[in-house]
Amino acid sequence: MSKNLGKIIKTTLATAALATCLAGGAIAATETSEASSEKHAKAATQYRQAIFQLVRSNMGPLGGMAKGALPFDESVMMTNGVRLEQLADMMSDYLSVDTRKFDVDTGAKDAMWENFSDVESKIAALKEASMGLQAAVKAGDESAYRSAIGKVGASCKSCHDDYKKD
């Protein structure tokens, strides 16, 4: 990992953690809530984008391995699989704040909050796929690596297709 990417990830995590503490904690998952102010909407959007940046940083090497551009690295696959599972555990909290009432720069479609139970099922699919990748690595089943990574990528794509603006 490059020094700059490491700094970006550390800064993003620190910012999200501090802001969550200042905001009084995470939003309850499984139901949406409207942002209470423009400041709240901007913060919620920032957190949502930060979590997806972390997902992207963990998917990059996995995608490279699945495409054959990088050799399979069990350590990276396990680490990134665990991270993606943990990020999936946090997603509902960060996606549940409906920011539509405010003028914030977001890539989210309105449908995200209109169909939040579907969003949560897609988050569950990401978690399940991430756990499947970890299981393939633990089993040392090299023949399953590409497929396991593909399932993680497909879970991301399914959400992007339905809830991310082009």
Is 21 annotated as belonging to a binding site? Answer: no
**DSSP states along 26-93:** PPPTTS-EE-SSHHHHHHHHHHHHHHHHHHHHHHHHHHHHHTTSS---HHHHHHHHHHHHHHHHHHHH
Is 156 annotated as belonging to a binding site? Answer: yes
- Distance, in Å, from the CA atom of 116 to the CA atom of 87, rounded to the nearest integer, reads 17
Query: Which of 166, 132, 136 has its CA nearest to residue 152?
Result: 132
Q: What size, in residues, is the chain? A: 166
Residues paired with residue 150 on neighbouring β-strands, in sequence order: none
Cα separation values, 134 from 23, 90, 93, 149, Å: 34, 18, 24, 10
Q: Is the dihedral of CA 154, 15, 106, 43 positive or negative?
A: positive
Q: Binding site residues for heme c, as ranges?
A: 156, 159-160
Q: Binding site residues, as ranges?
A: 156, 159-160
